[in-house]
Amino acid sequence: MATIDVQAHDAALFEFLNEDDGRWVVRETHHFDNKVVRDGRSGPPLHIHWLQTEYFKVEKGVIGIMKNEKEIAATKDDGILEIPAGTRHRFWAHSSTTEDLVFKVWAEPQDIDHSFDENFLRNFTGYQRDCQMLNLKPSPFQLILLSYNSATMGTPSFWIPLWFLKAVNYVLAFWIAKALLGYQESYAEYTRPTKATAQD
């Protein structure tokens, strides 16, 4: 059964799915009639998942992927695209697409805590959507904390050693965002309860 979330500016639709083989995936639909999508801004900024490999499978349209310093334009004919753990990357609706971009994305391994998962996406997109509705600018410190808690971090376009980037993001996330500013790693209003939580 799918559960659905919507990105800020109504640019994209997220469907959280469980595949027949037990994998958790997200089906993203980036709406071509939305200017944010046509301008290539509906995907996340350049980032790294340091614990998991990320996979993309296009169902419709053309996805643009920046993988380290190489840009890829892919369609459903390209099969499953792999982004190894530790790779700088971002994705968006490619400028050559003339229709909605629809693709599935997931990360593996999936049985680890504090990783790229449904609750991370719900918190990350839910927070930004609420900021947009309230006409507030999202706090970069809150976004860094949400990301770091899920083994994800933003990165500049130039190369920086992974250990150094993690150290900087750790300080920004836990010393400043959490300890000093009082932000949280996740919020109940965005987080989907697990079976264990529901039984408490």
Q: Would you say residue 153 lies in a domain? A: yes
Cβ atoms of residues 89 and 154 within 8 Å:
no
Q: Would you say residue 82 lies in a domain? A: yes
Residues 49 and 89 occupy one common structural domain: yes
pLDDT grade for 7, boundaries at 50, 70 and 90: confident
Q: What is the pLDDT of residue 91?
A: 97
Residues 7 and 79 occupy one common structural domain: yes
Domain housing 178: 118-192
Residues 99 and 147 occupy one common structural domain: no
Q: Would you say residue 66 lies in a domain? A: yes
Residues 102 and 7 occupy one common structural domain: yes
Q: Would you say residue 18 lies in a domain? A: yes
Quote the percentage of the chain above a pLDDT of 70: 92
pLDDT grade for 199, boundaries at 50, 70 and 90: very low
Residue 157 is given by DSSP the state S
Q: Would you say residue 80 lies in a domain? A: yes
Q: Which of 59, 88, 108 is the last residue of a domain?
A: 108
Model confidence pLDDT, tens digit, residues 10-62 = 889 999 999 989 899 999 999 999 999 999 999 999 999 999 999 999 999 99
Q: Which of 108, 130, 157 is the last residue of a domain?
A: 108
Q: Would you say residue 7 lies in a domain? A: yes
Q: Would you say residue 141 lies in a domain? A: yes
Q: Which of 64, 85, 108 is the last residue of a domain?
A: 108
- Domains held by the chain: number: 2
Q: Is the backbone peptide bond immediately before 45 cis, with ω within 30 degrees of 0?
A: no
Q: What is the pLDDT of residue 10?
A: 84
Residues 168 and 96 occupy one common structural domain: no
Q: Is the pLDDT of residue 183 over 90?
A: yes
Cβ atoms of residues 157 and 46 within 8 Å:
yes
Looking up tokens 């369609």 gives 75
pTM (two decimals): 0.88
Residues 171 and 83 occupy one common structural domain: no
